[in-house]
Amino acid sequence: MALVPARQILEEAKKGGYGVGAYNVNNMEQIQAIMEAAKETQSPVIIQASRGALKYSNFTYLGYLMKAAVIENPDIPVAMHLDHGNSLESAIKAIEIGCSSVMIDGSLLEDGKTASDYAYNVKVTKSVVEYAHARGVSVEAEIGTLGGIEDGHGIGDGPVHLTDPKEAKKFVEETGVDSLAIAIGTSHGAYKFKGASNLAFDVLKEIRGLISIPIVLHGASSVPKALIDEVNKYGGKMPGATGVPMSDLQQSIKLGVQKINVDTDGRLAITAAIRKVFVESPEKFDPRDYLGPARTALKNLIVTKMKDFGTAGHAKDYAPKSLEDYKKFYASK
């Protein structure tokens, strides 16, 4: 099996100058679609589940589905990742079901909605790093706050704070995290901008110059107009939904981003495909008749992402390292 910590996947991406998508999942069809895309493009991949997704699936079900993706694709480096863990307890539970990587979002309090302070973020992040590294599991953290809400997580319309580069450097040194999610103007959900996107590339450049670990962009779905039009064509109501242009994401990769989180775009592809079946074939009632096309639509979307991020073709660039390998690595530091 090629289950690896996200640290290895992202460090290799940093060396190679490409980005790696981290794709959120809730069910079997999403996982299959992502892995089909990874196999077709020969891309390393991060499959991630939020606390909400794990709760929806009763934890064990989704954990085993992600493990199945690893078993079925032994030649693809795969990281199983917890997205937006809110406490040490959430990280422990994710590691227990097999996650090789966890995110602790101490930029918000445990409710996942209220902005925290720097001291709180350091404290909770260090507790997760200590626990995870002892088991060979890599840790992502966040500093700064993004707008919007997705899967019940986010500050919504609360104050957005771009990441302070000097604070980011201090945070990395104090916590020992493996990757850092930063706020440069992206936002959770399908309604990211009022008008044109305006990412703070100057902030990204400064952070890249101060820290050496991989950098992560949350809220990075592009919300393609073609998908919005398809959803609305078949009865949806999503006026004004906007995302991060792919050109901005590619520029972010050039400036030093390695991990790009994608959730909303996958939801849109699935929704558009299902709505189309319901409208064009109202006699259909077998879930396979609409989940099958949804799976295909998502796979096609992910293939384009893997090519656009530059991930395609890098699955066999390096020998996968295990959790045991990283357990020894962390112990030697």
Rounded distance between C-alpha atoms, residue 151 and residue 83, angstroms? 11
Query: Which of 99-108, 194-203, 264-273, 300-309 is least confident?
Result: 194-203
Q: How confident is the model at residue 194 (pLDDT cuts 50, 70, 90)?
A: low
Specify the pLDDT at position 198.
78
Residue 82 φ then ψ, to 5°: -85, 125
For residue 151, pLDDT over 80 is answered with no
Start-to-end CA distance of the chain, whole Å, equals 26
Q: And the tokens for 317?
A: 């660039």
Cα 331 → chain centroid: 27
Specify the pLDDT at position 243.
85
Residue 168 φ then ψ, to 5°: -60, -45
| pTM, two decimal places | 0.92
Mean pLDDT calculated for residue range 197-204? 88
Mean pLDDT calculated for residue range 303-313? 98
- The whole-chain average pLDDT of the chain stands at 92
Mean pLDDT calculated for residue range 119-128? 97
Distances (CA, A) of 128 to 6, 50, 98, 105, 180: 15, 16, 16, 10, 14
pLDDT tens-digit profile of 223-248? Answer: 999 999 999 999 999 888 888 999 99
Cross-strand partners of 50: 83
Every domain of the chain and the residues it spans: 6-321
Specify the pLDDT at position 157.
46
Q: How confident is the model at residue 14 (pLDDT cuts 50, 70, 90)?
A: very high
Q: How confident is the model at residue 110 (pLDDT cuts 50, 70, 90)?
A: confident
- Diameter over CA atoms, the chain: 62
For residue 149, pLDDT over 80 is answered with no
Q: 3-class DSSP state for residue 94?
A: helix
Q: How confident is the model at residue 156 (pLDDT cuts 50, 70, 90)?
A: very low
Specify the pLDDT at position 58.
86
Rounded distance between C-alpha atoms, residue 67 and residue 6, angstroms? 15
Amino acid letter for position 202: D
Mean pLDDT calculated for residue range 94-116? 91
**Taking Cα atoms as reference points, which of 301, 313, 307, 311 lies closest to residue 262?**
301
Residue 80: DSSP 8-state: E
- Known catalytic membership, residue 325: no
Mean pLDDT calculated for residue range 27-52? 97
Q: How confident is the model at residue 3 (pLDDT cuts 50, 70, 90)?
A: very high
Catalytic residue among 75, 83, 117, 202: 83
Q: Where do runs of H (alpha helix) occur along the chain?
A: 6-16, 28-41, 51-56, 60-72, 88-96, 118-133, 165-175, 201-210, 225-233, 246-254, 264-280, 287-309, 323-332
Mean pLDDT calculated for residue range 182-186? 89
The proportion of the chain whose per-residue pLDDT surpasses 90, expressed as a percent, equals 80
Mean pLDDT calculated for residue range 155-166? 71
For residue 155, pLDDT over 60 is answered with no
Rounded distance between C-alpha atoms, residue 269 and residue 267, angstroms? 6
Is residue 86 within 8 Å of 13, Cβ to Cβ? no
Mean pLDDT calculated for residue range 216-220? 92
Q: How confident is the model at residue 114 (pLDDT cuts 50, 70, 90)?
A: confident
Host H or E run for residue 85: strand 78-85
Specify the pLDDT at position 195.
53
Query: Which of 20-34, 61-75, 106-120 is least confident?
Result: 106-120
Cross-strand partners of 141: 104, 180
Number of CB atoms found within 10 A of residue 317's CB? 13
Residue with tokens 């775009």: 265
Residue 260: DSSP 8-state: E
For residue 192, pLDDT over 60 is answered with no
- Contacts of 202-209 with C-beta under 8 Å, sequence gap 24+, read 203/162, 203/163, 203/165, 204/252, 204/255, 204/256, 204/257, 205/255, 205/256, 206/165, 207/163, 207/165, 207/168, 207/169, 207/180, 207/182, 207/256, 208/255, 208/256, 209/165
Specify the pLDDT at position 145.
74
Q: How confident is the model at residue 169 (pLDDT cuts 50, 70, 90)?
A: very high
For residue 160, pLDDT over 80 is answered with no
CATH code linked to domain 6-321: 3.20.20.70
**Taking Cα atoms as reference points, which of 34, 30, 62, 59 lies closest to residue 46?**
34
